[in-house]
Structure 1
């Protein structure tokens, strides 16, 4: 499955748009991480535990989007976008979406 942020896949012709493929996940913070990250927030520097959490969430959302596109019979997903939002005090959603297409 090819996924691109552009409107087309280089070297291929889009023959059919199948619809919007999407995948999401909601990840919650860990209380233990919050304590260590709060200290890091005071002293400065990257909040690595949160960076790793969001990276994992992005990968999961993209994987679910690709699975959704495969169920539609797509060869690729174009115009891929990622968004995040806070859904609770301790949790954030990451959603990946794009247009599922068939290629020639």
Structure 2
């Protein structure tokens, strides 16, 4: 499955637009991770526990995005984007979204 952030894919043409598609993940770090992250925030710098959490959440959101697009019959996703928000003070929602399409390779 081709997933791009652009409107088109060089070397391919969009033969069918199937509609919007998304993958949603809500993650929470446990109390131990929040405690360690809180201590790190006092000192400053990168909080690796949260960076890893969000990287994993983005990967999961893209995996769900691809699964949903595949179920629609797509072989590509164009205009893919991420959005995120917080739910309460302990949870993060990550959404990967785009347009599910059918692509056909253009012969040279």
The answer, yes or no, to whether TM exceeds 0.5 is yes
Task: Provide Cα deviations, 1:44-78, integer angstroms capped at 9, x if missing partner.
Answer: 11100000000000000000000000001101000
Aligned match of 2:41: 41
* Matched residues, number: 104
CA RMSD of superposed structures (Å): 0.7
Runs of at least 4 residues off by over 6 Å:
none
Name structure 2 gaps, 5 residues minimum: none
Matches within 5 A, 1:73-84: 73-84=73-84
Name structure 1 gaps, 5 residues minimum: none
* Segment of structure 1 superposing worse, 31-40 or 62-71: 31-40
